[in-house]
């Protein structure tokens, strides 16, 4: 379900560092995080989303999340923006 949401989104930001920047700018409507990503990699973006009360959706696979973003590598986090 969440993979489809990423596929259908008009604007997405791929990667934890870029997602944190987007969260701080207030443009993120939802954050999608892969549960198989290293906790050290995603902890800052998840913490930032919680602090800013942005909805977080978890998916099971970085590889599938990357595929939904139309990239050839896995994605730990994807921000869906307005």
Q: What is the pLDDT of residue 1?
A: 65
- pTM, to two decimals: 0.96
Task: Give buried/exposed letters for 10-45 (b at 16+ CB in 10 A, else e).
Answer: eebbbbbeebbbbbeeeebebbbbbeebeeebbeeb
Contact 80, 30 (CB under 8 A): yes
Domain boundaries, the chain: 2-81
Please give the mean pLDDT across all residues of the chain: 97
Task: Say yes or no to pLDDT of 15 above 90.
Answer: yes
Mean pLDDT of 30-57: 98
CATH architecture of the domain with residue range 2-81: 2-Layer Sandwich (3.30)
């Amino acid at each position: 379900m969440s993979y489809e949401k990423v596929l259908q989104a008009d604007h997405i930001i791929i990667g934890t560092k870029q997602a944190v920047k987007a969260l701080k700018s207030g443009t993120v409507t939802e954050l999608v995080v892969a549960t198989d990503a290293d906790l050290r990699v995603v902890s800052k973006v998840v913490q930032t989303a919680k602090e800013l009360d942005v909805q977080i959706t978890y998916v099971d696979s970085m590889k599938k999340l990357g595929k939904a973003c139309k990239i050839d590598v896995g994605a730990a986090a994807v921000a869906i923006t307005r």
